[in-house]
Amino acid sequence: MPVVTLYWDELERLVGVDRETILSNLPMIGCDVERVEEDHLDVEFFPNRPDLYSVEGVARALRGFLGIETGYKNYKVKSGDWKIIVEESVKDVRPRICGCVVKGLKMSDELIRSLMEVQEDLHWTIGRNRRKMAIGVHDLRVLEFPLRYTTVDGNFSFVPLDFEEEMSIEEILKKHPKGKEYSFIVKDFEKFPIILDSNGEVVSFPPIINANRTRLTEKTTDVFIDVTGFDKNVDRALNIIATMLADRGGVVESVEVIYSNSVEVTPDLSPSKMSVDKEEIVSLLGFEISDGEIISALEKMRYGVNVRDTYFEVLVPPYRADIMHPWDIVEDIAIGYGYDRIKPDYPKTATVGKAHEWNELREIVKEIMIGLGYTEVITFTLTSERVQYEKMRRNKPKPWYYTPVMHPLTEEHTIIRTDLLPKLLEVISVNTHHPLPQKIFEVGDCVVNMKNRLKVASCSTHSKANFAEIRSFVQAFMKELDLNWEVKESEDEAFIEGRRADIIVNGKKIGVFGEIHPEVLENFEIPNPVVGMEVDLTEVFDVGELL
């Protein structure tokens, strides 16, 4: 989630209240205050509210929430004589573009900083790291309209932002810091999207980099903004930037985007309308709330409201990218009303509880194990072929008997465990400095053939651990589970030959026990003898439904 840095002087000035009031109210509109410093605070806003990624957006929301300036804020768009001609060739690479002109800005460091920050956050969130949407802000003075949105070859060259010499598109993708960072988006392209002005000079190579000549300076008062991408997120982003600059005193002018068979005028800063049923509000919130309270809550959240007989017609501001469903508005009613004012009420829903067989069996097994003097451990289910098979002198099974994960982060976590015993040996190996005897067990999930299985394993280590001990143990354990079982000589190489046994129930092998082979002990760097057992409980017990 994006963390937005808000400077106190701007925030206090734009909201018009002191820090204390801001700090105590900010969390109640939906965010986590991460850090409070003398000159600024870092706030994490939720990914559904990109309109709050700038100090202007936060000030607008806070002024509403605090009742300083409530209701729908109307943003005017002056009809401008600016045109972008979109050529057919962009259809296959990055089909949509929209834009606007904002005039009369005072380009301070503060504003440039805020603009850059909001661009970055929008790129990351609704832009999905510039893939779906990218924004460019340019000094209007150097551009000759109409602009042309078209495609060029990789050897086409211009001077990219922060450089002084011409570079070809291909060089930019290899050498320019932004080119390298975002080349993954255009790596399969044969032709690259480009915005040119009427002199044929480059404006931008979206979504990678602007031309150096269009950069903002302290003298800039008028800007042109382009947003490129694929879908309505392009318009959402433009609306967020345009309203933010309008809040800074800028005058927004429209741009005509001319496609081969249609013309769009952007930005559209008129509200969208959504009907919210009165009964549904009360029912979803679960408490009685009057029309007046609903209206007041909506206005605090900067909506416009028209009251109808059974519903409210809600005017949704153009910068709100998250309103997909009436319930999204109901949540805002709850926020505007104040979460702290809602009286919690335990639901009357009457049902009878029931534990899951799987966990009931786990509890039983634990009782037996504790009774036999074994202490419970829990371990990661993520492990590696090396620990599960190689160190155990066992043959590696075929994939999908075990589960390899894609793109593991470490060599230790490449698969999900199929067996518990190796995990217990790992535990013993990191605990050799503690007094012996050590007797441990784990009863938990393994994944075999992509399904969970409930297994139990135990280990005992001390200088005299031997087969007689583990056999007595298994005898007692199996007796408590009330299972008819027999023993067969095992071929499990993890144990010493002649001191290893398979546990057979109904003719089926369900487990194994014995003295751990000294080579296995060496592999795990365990200096003392270890005896151990493992049983697959899923083989013999009803463990209930698994979804």
Q: Which of residues 268-307 bind other proteins (CB under 8 A)?
A: 283-287
CB of 142 to other proteins, least distance (A): 35
Residues 397-436 that bind other proteins (CB under 8 A): 400, 403-410, 413, 416, 426-427, 430-431, 434-435
Site for other proteins contains 544 (CB under 8 A): yes
Q: Which residues pair with 83 in a beta bridge?
A: 256
Q: Does 218 bind other proteins (CB under 8 A)?
A: no
Shortest spacing between CB 357 and other proteins, in angstroms: 9
- Number of neighbours of residue 103 by Cβ within 10 angstroms: 15
Both structure tokens of 163? 């450089």
**Footprint of other proteins on residues 21-40 (CB under 8 A)?**
27-30, 32
Residue 527 CB, shortest distance to other proteins, in Å, is 15
Q: Is the peptide bond before 397 cis (omega within 30 degrees of 0)?
A: no
Rank residues 202 and 276 by Cβ distance to other proteins and give the closer one.
276
C-beta of residue 6 within 8 angstroms of C-beta of residue 41? yes
Residue linked to tokens 């009964």? 279
- 29: region left, alpha or beta (phi > 0 left; psi from -120 to 50 alpha): alpha
430 to 469: interface string for other proteins, x by CB under 8 A: xx--xx--xxx----x-x--xxx-----------------
**Residue of 14, 25, 42, 46 interacting with other proteins (CB under 8 A):** 46
Q: Identify the residue whose tokens are 């399969």.
A: 188
- Of 282 and 540, the one with the shorter C-beta distance to other proteins is 282
Using CB under 8 A as the binding rule, whether residue 376 contacts other proteins is answered as yes
Q: Are 181 and 175 in contact (CB under 8 A)?
A: no
Cβ-based burial of 281 (10 A; exposed 0-12, middle 13-18, buried ≥19) = buried
User: Counting contacts by CB under 8 A, is residue 545 touching other proteins?
Assistant: yes
- As measured in angstroms, the least distance from the Cβ of 398 to other proteins is 13
Give the residue, chosen from 14, 112, 265, 335, that forms a contact with other proteins under the rule CB under 8 A: 335
Cα 255 from Cα 82, distance rounded (Å): 5
Q: Give the residue with the Cβ less far from other proteins, 25 or 212.
A: 25
Identify residues 175-214 at the interface with other proteins (CB under 8 A): none
| Residue 547 makes contact with other proteins by CB under 8 A | yes
**Min CB(348)–other proteins separation in Å:** 8
Q: Which is nearer to other proteins, 27 or 67 (CB)?
A: 27
Q: 3-class SS at 386?
A: helix
Phi first, then psi, for residue 320 (nearest 5°) are -85, 110
Strands 96-103 and 382-383: unpaired
Structure tokens at 8: 């106190």
Residue choice 340, 411, 482, 542 for contact with other proteins (CB under 8 A): 340
Alpha carbons within 13 angstroms on the beta-carbon side of residue 497 total 2
Check if the beta carbon of residue 213 is closer than 8 Å to that of residue 182. no
Burial (0-12, 13-18, 19+ Cβ within 10 Å), 14:
middle
Among 36, 327, 401, 489, binds other proteins (CB under 8 A): 327
Q: Is residue 324 at the binding interface for other proteins, with CB under 8 A as the rule?
A: yes
- The answer to the question of residue 373 lying near other proteins (CB under 8 A) is yes
Binding of other proteins by 374 (CB under 8 A): yes
Number of residues that bind other proteins (CB under 8 A): 92
Give the interface segment with other proteins, choosing from 154-162, 186-194, 332-340, 520-528 (CB under 8 A): 332-340
**CB under 8 Å to 475, separation ≥6 — which residues?**
none
366 binds other proteins (CB under 8 A): yes
Work out how close the CB of 72 gets to other proteins at its nearest, in angstroms, rounded to a whole number.
20
Q: For residue 374, what is the DSSP state? A: P
Going across the sheet that includes 272-277, the strands are: 272-277, 311-316, 304-307
Nearer to other proteins, 71 or 326 (CB): 326
Element (H, E) at 43: strand 40-45
Nearest approach in angstroms of CB 356 to other proteins is: 4
Signed CA dihedral, 165, 170, 171, 177: sign only: positive
Inter-residue contact 198 to 148 (CB < 8 Å):
yes
Footprint (CB under 8 A) of other proteins, residues 230-249: 230-232
User: Considering the rule CB under 8 A, would residue 391 count as an interface residue with other proteins?
Assistant: no
Whole-number Å distance between alpha carbons of 539 and 506 = 10
- 327 vs 506 by CB, closer to other proteins: 327
Contact range with other proteins by CB under 8 A, out of 226-234, 481-489, 509-517, 533-541: 226-234
d(CA 245, CA 240): 9
Q: Shortest distance, CB of residue 481 to other proteins, whole angstroms?
A: 18
Distance CA 435, CA 106 (A): 73
Binding mask 120-139 for other proteins (x = CB under 8 A): -----x--x--xx-------
